[in-house]
Structure formats: C-alpha cells, structure tokens
Amino acid sequence: MGIAMKRFLSKSYVRFIIFILLIIILIFISKSFSIDKEKMDAFFKKFPPVYSSLVFIALYVASNFFVTGDPKEILKLVSVFVFGVYLSTLLIYIAEIINATLFFHLSRFFGEEFMDRYLKGKFKHIYEKLGQMNLNWIFMLRLNILIPYRVLDTCFGISKISFRKYLAAVLIVSLPRIFFLQYIVGVIGNFSFGNIMNVQMHPAVAFLFVFYFIFSIIIIFKTKKRLW
C-alpha cells in the first residue's frame, strides 16, 4: 500500500476531511438562513426573563454553527433591547464559555493529530509557536475585536496548548470585550436599529471604539511577527 493511501486511511486524515466537509456544508446552510430582528425581539419578550435567558443562550450557541451570515450578530443586537446591556453581556459571556469549550474540543478531535503529523515547513513552525504561547498573548488575542472567537477556538484547539490555559483566558478576558461591544450597541441602539453604526453621534463612544480598533490592529501585527 502506497504512502498516499496509508495517509488517506489514517484516522487523523479521515477526521480532518470530515471536519472540512462539515464546514463546507455549514457554509451552504448559512447562505439560506436569516433572522428577522423585530420577530426575534418579540419572540424573547413572550417568555419570562428566566426562560428567555436560557432560550437566548441556547440560540446563541447554536448560531455559531452558521459559518456565514449574521444570526449571532442579530442576537447580540436584540439582546440589548430585551435584556439590557448588563444582563445581555452576562448571557453572551456564559454562551461564549460554552462555545469556546465546544469548538476547542471539536477542533482538537478533528484536527490536532492531522496538523501535528502532516504540517511541514513554515506552517509547522507557526503551529508549534501557537501551541507554546503564554497566557498573556492569549489574553491579548481574546481581547482583539478583529479576531472572531471561533477562529481562536479553532486555532488553539488544533494546537498543542492545554485547554486549561485557554479556558483561563476565556474566563478572564472575554467579559470586558463583550461588555465593551454590548455597551456600544446599547448606547447607539437607543435611537433605532437603523442607527446602530452611527457612532459619530456619540463622540466618546466613537473615540473608545477607534482606540480599541487601533489596539486590535497593533496586537495582530505583533502576533504575526511572533508567529512568523
């Protein structure tokens, strides 16, 4: 049996192919899926706060399996109007802990062994560096608003980094990032859904957003330099 055939039949290779196929399938499903903001707002308000909170967490976690589209972003927006800035921040924080745990372990199961065995050259170097990152670097990446949480969950899941270390970063630094974004949505969203991006109407919020954005870009460049 040739080397190529042995590689194809290995468990790690099969799992990785399944992982890629699942992502492709989810992309196609996502393209035909949409959420109406007003209907979702009315849906949550039909339930008592305790039940609507649990339903929101479940829907938020499920929405992360849609690779494209904006169901999660719409849920973030609706949650501010239904639950307020503080409670919506807490609910999203709980959901993101669940998401991080789920996607980290899914990525580890489907991709870690494949990456460890078959990556070569520069990509192998990046993979090894990612697995050696200290907690401070993971903190900064989790704070970066330009890097989606699921990208981080997947990248660290396939690396050699321990789940305990990654979970510590999730628990400690996710809350301030979530609160910052929910606060901006809450302040600007007081006008209407259509004004959600009209940050120039709130100079202080606009300044904080720009400051955070610049911070995020700096972290990306520093991280790239460290990995490459």
pLDDT of residue 45: 82
User: How would you label 2-21 residue by residue, b for 16+ Cβ within 10 Å and e otherwise?
Assistant: eeeeeeeeeebbeebeebee
pTM to 2 decimal places: 0.77
Q: Are 107 and 153 in contact (CB under 8 A)?
A: yes
Q: What's the mean pLDDT when you consider all of the chain?
A: 78
- More reliable by pLDDT, 108 or 196: 108
**Among 86, 170, 160, residue whose Cα is nearest residue 119:** 160
H or E element in which residue 104 lies: helix 71-107
**pLDDT (tens digit, 9 = 90+) per residue, 132-165?**
888 888 888 898 888 889 889 988 988 888 999 9
- Model pLDDT for residues 18-39, shown as the tens digit of each residue: 777 877 776 666 666 666 777 7
Residues 6 or more apart from 51 whose CB is under 8 A from it?
A: none
The pairs formed by 55-58 with CB atoms below 8 angstroms and a separation of 24 or more are: 56/82, 56/83, 56/91, 56/95, 57/91, 57/94, 57/95, 57/98
Contact 59, 40 (CB under 8 A): no
Which runs of consecutive H residues, i.e. helices, occur in the chain?
A: 3-9, 11-31, 37-45, 49-63, 71-107, 113-118, 121-131, 135-143, 149-158, 163-188, 203-227
Pick from 149, 211, 205: nearest CA to 178: 149
Least confident range of 85-99, 129-143, 201-215 = 201-215
Query: Could you give the C-alpha distances from 51 to 47, 56, 86, 187, in angstroms and in order?
Result: 6, 9, 17, 26
As a whole number of angstroms, the distance between CA 153 and CA 158 comes to 9
Backbone angles phi, psi at 223, to 5 degrees: -65, -45
Q: At which residue do the structure tokens 């606060």 appear?
A: 183
Q: 51-55, 146-150, 175-179: lowest mean pLDDT where?
A: 146-150
Alpha-carbon torsion, ordered 8, 152, 103, 132, to 10 deg: 70
**Residue 193's pLDDT band (boundaries 50, 70, 90)?**
very low
Inform me whether the pLDDT recorded for 5 exceeds 70: no
Token digits for 89? 């921040």
> 210 is written with which tokens?
């720009």
CA 130, CA 122: separation in Å to the nearest integer?
12
Q: What's the pLDDT at 196? A: 44
